[in-house]
Amino acid sequence: MDREGGFEFALDAVRLDGWYRDFLATVADVEVLEAVFGRRGLGYLMLAGVRLESVALDRQDPAGSVVDVQLPDGRVARAPARLLVRRAIEALVEQVTIDGPRPSLPDVDQVRGLLGGRFVLLTAMHGISLRKLVVPPSDEPTLDVEHDGDALSMPISSLRRVVVGKLEDDIRSVEEVQIDEARIGEARAAEERGEHRRVIEILEPMAGPLVSLLRSGAAARMAPEERTSVVAALELLARAQMKSGDVESAETILRLGAQGCRGEPESAALYVRLGEIALLRGSAGEAIGALRRASALGAPPKLVGVPLASALASRGRHVAAVAVRDQAIADGALPESFVAVVASERELGDAYAAVRRFLSE
């Protein structure tokens, strides 16, 4: 729509929301590669023109795996994964700050030329949906975007700074791994406010390095409270992803974290969440296995009880469902949380009182 010498342009034909999720769905062994390069590392390498040739996987420190790549100029290089990702991000920071020619017409190609293909792809990678471009007669063009459910309008230069800030956060995430308790505390506070997207924004860049830390030899030298802090951060991130509807990412984080813990008690909460996800998928048997493992690792009955009782009831194991429910309530769980067990009580009928007496003996 023309507006006194300027124009507005809907960006439906320009934005590429969801492209990175769709790309990852085509990648074999994506969980392993995400452990090596981080959640967005594969995308950064691709956008920087780096082509993977081979990966010598270091299972103890995946981000330290030695990788052979072909660079944009055709040379073959070998370097640790974290260094390659850092260099790719640094190259993208330089490129994303440059505007193309100002469009004179509401034309798709001219608008793409202004924004730049990498900028459009990076905004989508970070959950920023481009909605509309406004080109005034003389002032800087502005973009209407949606991010974390909020509708925002800002000059293109401001949005470029936002994207650069996110890239710089990811640069810091591939540095030497440290447990940033202040950032984890900030994420906990965001969860208490119900700001699940903010939790993801804070913790997602840390997830790859934290998983690598758990899987490295350094984990054995960590104090128990340090391992607990790492696992709690991963579980907090997965919980936020689940509440935001990204169950697939949550499951990936939980599985990688559980593998890194190698059966240590700190992983109990991760198995509880894995059990909940399996139950959401309708895989009651898988849920029971994960939740039983959580119990064996020390998860309290009040934490395991609701999903485990639901899974048992759905498999027709009514006596076991009632037993788990009663144990969880005795441990402090709320009775009204066990809606699924009502069916088990109905199925047991008159035998229910006898079961209760048997269980209490």
Q: 92 is in which domain, residue-wise? A: 2-170
Looking at 6-48, list the stretches that DSSP marks H as alpha helix, in order from N- to C-terminal side: 19-24, 30-37, 41-47
Residue-wise pLDDT tens digits, 80-93: 888 888 889 989 99
User: Which amino acid, residue 108?
Assistant: V
Query: Residue 266 pLDDT more than 80?
Result: yes
Residue-wise pLDDT tens digits, 186-221: 999 999 999 999 999 888 877 877 877 776 655 666
Residue 6 placed within a domain: yes
pTM: predicted TM-score of the whole model, two decimal places:
0.56
Same domain, 160 and 205: no
Query: Residue 129 pLDDT more than 70?
Result: yes
Same domain, 301 and 159: no
**Where is the domain boundary, 170, 205, 220?**
170
The residue-averaged pLDDT of 135-156 equals: 91
Residue 333, pLDDT score: 87
| CA gyration radius, the chain | 25
Residue 100 placed within a domain: yes
Query: Residue 168 pLDDT more than 80?
Result: yes
What is the side-by-side order of every strand in the sheet holding 128-135? 2-3, 6-10, 128-135, 142-147, 150-155
Query: Residue 98 pLDDT more than 90?
Result: no
Residue 180 placed within a domain: no
Place of tokens 């409270």: 225
Place of tokens 């470029």: 160
pLDDT bin (cut points 50, 70, 90) of residue 178 is low
Same domain, 165 and 236: no
The two structure tokens encoding residue 160:
């470029």
Same domain, 201 and 165: no
Query: Residue 108 pLDDT more than 60?
Result: yes
Rounded Cα gap, residues 305 and 283, in angstroms: 17
**Where is the domain boundary, 113, 137, 170?**
170
Domain count for the chain: 2
Residue 226 placed within a domain: yes
Work out whether strand 150-155 and strand 128-135 pair parallel, antiparallel, or are unpaired: unpaired
Residue-wise pLDDT tens digits, 303-335: 999 999 999 988 888 888 888 988 899 888 888
Residue-wise pLDDT tens digits, 221-234: 667 777 888 889 99
Residue-wise pLDDT tens digits, 50-77: 998 998 887 767 777 889 988 888 888 8
Rounded Cα gap, residues 168 and 122, in angstroms: 13
The per-residue pLDDT of the chain, averaged, comes to 85
Place of tokens 């066990």: 338
Same domain, 261 and 134: no
Query: Residue 4 pLDDT more than 60?
Result: no
Rounded Cα gap, residues 234 and 250, in angstroms: 9
